[in-house]
A and B are shown apart, each in its own frame.
Chain A
Amino acid sequence: MLRFLIRRLGLIIPTFIGITLVAFAFVRVLPGDPVLLLAGERGMDPERYQKLLVQFGYDRPIYEQYLSYVWGLLHGDFGVSISTKRPVLDEFLTLFPATAELGLFAILFAVAIGIPAGILAAVRRGSLFDQAAMGVALTGYSMPIFWWGLLLIILFSGILGWTPVSGRISFLYFFPSVTGFMTIDALLSGQSGAFGSAVSHLVLPTIVLGTIPLAVIARQTRSAMLEVLAEDYVRTARAKGLAPSRVIGLHALRNALIPVITTIGLQVGVLIAGAILTETIFSWPGIGKWMVDSISRRDYPVVQGGLVLIAGLVMVVNLVVDILYGLINPRIRHR
C-alpha cells in the first residue's frame, strides 16, 4: 500500500510542474508587454517603466522568472488582481465556498436520482422504465446546460414565479459568513425565512449543474449493475434462495458501486466546467463566474492564479479518488 501511495504521489509532481508551466507561459505568450499591460491605455514614462520592469523581475532571464514564480506559488503568492488589488488567493478563498456549496448540492442531486434510477433500469433491463430512463439520461448527457438553465428560468422564474433568477440569497437577509455555505450560515443566523431564501436560490443552479453528472452516474450505475448481475456469485446467491432485494441490495450493489464511486469522483472537472456556465447564467458569485469575468476584464494575474488553483484542486481530488479506489480495490493496490 505504501508503495502504491508513494508512486501515485510521485506522479503528481510532473503534473504540477506542467500546470505551473502552462500558467506561466499563458502570461508570457499574451500579445503585448506585461508592464505596459499594467499601465493600461494611459501609457507611462520610460523611467517608471524601467522601475516596474525590475520590480516584477521581467529583466531577468526567463527560467529565473519561472523559478521565482513557482517559489512564490509554493509560498501562497498567486499574484494580485489588477482590478481589485487583492491577492488572488484571498479572492479564490472568498469565492470558493459558493462554488463548493453549489457543486456539493449538484452531486447530491445527481447521486440521489442517478443511482436508484440506474439500479432500477438494470434490474428491469429492456422494460419501459429502462428505455425511458436511458433516453432521458442520454438527453441529459447531450444537454447544452447554458440553454437548459435559461429554459428553467423562463419556466420557474418567468411563468410560474417560484424561484429567483440570480444570486445566492435575497437582499433582505444579511448575516456574517461563518462556514461560507449560505444554507448553513442562514440556519446559524436564526433569521426566519433566510434558510428558505437560500434554498430557493439554490434549486435551479443545482439542477442545471447536476444534470450532466446525473446522466453519467445513471448510465454508469446501470452498466455496472448489469455486469455484476451476470456474475457467478450473484447467480449463486439467487440459487440458494435469497430474496431478490437482498441479492440486489447486498451482493450486487456493493460490487457495482466501486466503479460508480470513481465516476463520481472524476466529475469534479465536469463540475468546474459546468460551474463556469451555470454561475454565469445565475450570477452565482463563485470561482466559475470569477474566471469568466476576469478573462473578459483582462485581469491576467487572476486568470493565471485561478488556472493554477483550479487545476491544482482537480489534481488533488483525482489523487484522493485514486487512493480511495486503491483502498477499496486490492487489485489496484497490489499491481
Chain B
Amino acid sequence: MSDRLEADSSTNPEAHLEEPTHLVAAAPPGASAMRMRAAVLAEFWHYFSQNRGAVAGLVVFLLLVLTALMAPVLAPHSPTQQFRDALLAPPVWVEGGSWKFILGSDPLGRDILSRLIYGARFSLFIGVVVVAIAVTGGILIGLAAGYFGGAVDVFAMRVMDIILAFPSLLLALVLVAVLGPGLGNAMIAIALVLQPHFARLTRAAVMSELRREYVVSARVVGASHLRLMFVTILPNCLAPLIVQGTLSFSTAILDAAALGFLGMGAQPPTPEWGTMLAEAREFILRAWWVVTFPGLAILVTVLAINLMGDGLRDALDPKLKRS
C-alpha cells in the first residue's frame, strides 16, 4: 500500500532542497547557534500552526502516545482477560450494554476498549520501528548512490526499482510467508518495501546538494568522504525525508494492520488492531461493535498522522510558503 505514497512524494523532491539555507538566512547574522536553532523552530511552528488540520492531527497523535504509555492505568481490564459470562456484550449505549464493557466485548469475552488501548502501543511501536529501519537503510543507500554516483548509483537504483516493481503489500505478504508469520517479520518486510522511497529521495537531495559551494569548499578544506556525506550534506537533505517519514509512519501502521488482517502479522491473542479485525470478521453481521471499533482506531490514527504530514510538508516546503 505504500504505492500510495508515490503520488505525493513524487511531487518534485527538489522543491524542498532550498529549505535549510533559506532558514539559516532567516536568522540574524552573528546569532549564536542556539538562537538560530530557536529561530528555525519558531518559523517552522509558525507555518505548521497555521494549518488547523495539522495541529488537530498533532493533538490526536499526542493523545495516542499518552494512551499507549499509560495503557495499564487507563485500561479498565486486562487486554487478554476473558469474561466467560459476557461474550459479545454490546457497548454501553446499546440496549443490554453495561459500563463494565464500555465498547462491548469480543467473542471470547475480552473488553474491546482495553484491547484497543493496549493496541495503541503496538501500532505506535510498529510505526517507530518500521520507519527507523526504512529511514536508516534508505539514507545509507541513497547517500552512497548520490555521493559516489557511477556504478554504485546504477546498481543501487536498479535494486530499488526492482523492489518498487512489486505491489508493496504483495511483496510484504510473500516476504512474511518466507520469514514466517508474526509481528517482527511483518515489520521487517514492511520496512524493506518502504525503504526504496527513502533511498530515492536521499539520492535526489544529495545529488543537488553535491554541486553547491559549501560542499565544494568543505571538500577543498580536506573533509573526508564520510564527513562530507554525513556531516556536511546529510543535514541539508532532511526536510523531504521528514515528510516522507511521517507518511511512511502511517503506511507502516496500515500495512501492518492489513497483514494482521490477512493472518500474516501479529498473531492472536495480541491486541493488534488488524489482528482484532481478523478475529472479529465472522461476527460482523451479529455484533457490529467487534468490527467497528478496531478499524475506527486504525483510521483515526492514520488520519491524524497524515494530517500532520500535510502540515509538515507545507511548513517545510519553501515553494508553498512564498505563495
Contacts and interface: CB of A to CB of B under 8 A. Distances in A.
Contacts of A295: 173-174, 177, 264
Interface residues of B, number: 49
Contacts of A139: 299, 303
Contacts of A151: 291-292, 295
B43 to A, nearest CB: 24
B303 A138 contact: yes
Given A18-B162, A147-B299, A276 B177 contact: no
B170 A307 contact: yes
Interface string A147-172: 11011011001100000000000000
Interface in A105-150: 135, 138-139, 141-144, 146-148, 150
B112 interface: no
Given A139-B299, A147-B291, A295-B173, A270 B3 contact: yes
Contacts of A216: 4, 7
Interface string A255-292: 00000000100110110111011001000000000011
Contact of B167 (A22, A150, A230, A314): A314
Contacts of B307: 138
Interface residues of A, number: 52
SS class, residues of chain A in contact with chain B: helix
Contacts of B285: 153-154, 157-158
Contacts of B174: 26, 295, 303, 307
A19 interface: yes
Nearest to A306: B170
Nearest to B302: A142
Contacts of B166: 19, 22, 307, 310-311, 314
Identify which of A19, A144, A220, A310 gathers the most chain B CB atoms within 10 Å of its CB. A144
A14 B307 CA distance: 38
Interface string B239-254: 0000000000010001
A142 to B, nearest CB: 4
B168 interface: yes
Contacts of A263: 7
A142 B281 contact: no
Contact of B299 (A18, A144, A154): A144
A296 B263 contact: yes
B320 to A, nearest CB: 10
Given A19-B162, A151-B295, A146 B261 contact: yes
Contacts of B294: 147
SS class, residues of chain B in contact with chain A: helix
Nearest to A275: B167
A15 interface: yes
B211 interface: no
A22 B302 CA distance: 31
A224 to B, nearest CB: 10
Contact of A15 (B161, B168, B178, B277): B161
A243 interface: no
Interface string A195-232: 00000000000000000100010011001000000100
Nearest to A155: B288
A157 B285 CA distance: 9
A207 B306 CA distance: 22
Contacts of B170: 272-273, 276, 291, 307, 310
Interface string A18-46: 11011000100110000000000000000
Contacts of B263: 296
B7 A266 contact: yes
A315 interface: yes
A202 B47 CA distance: 44
Contacts of A292: 173, 262
A138 B277 contact: no
A311 B284 contact: no
B94 to A, nearest CB: 14
A138 B168 CA distance: 21
Contacts of A276: 167, 169-170, 173, 262
Interface string B167-208: 111100110011000000000000000000000000000000
Interface in B277-305: 277, 281, 284-285, 288, 291-292, 294-296, 298-299, 302-303
A266 B6 CA distance: 8
B264 to A, nearest CB: 8
B299 A143 contact: yes
Nearest to A300: B177
Identify which of A146, A276, A310 gathers the most chain B CB atoms within 10 Å of its CB. A146
Nearest to B291: A150
Contacts of A18: 158-159, 161-162, 165
A313 to B, nearest CB: 10
A296 B180 CA distance: 11
Contacts of A157: 285
Contacts of A146: 257-258, 261, 274, 277, 295
20 contacts: A15-B162, A18-B158, A144-B257, A144-B298, A144-B302, A146-B274, A146-B277, A146-B295, A147-B291, A147-B296, A151-B295, A154-B284, A230-B323, A273-B167, A273-B169, A276-B173, A291-B173, A311-B165, A314-B165, A314-B167
Q: Which 7 A-B pairs have the closest CB atoms?
A: A147-B295, A18-B162, A273-B169, A142-B302, A142-B303, A269-B3, A272-B167
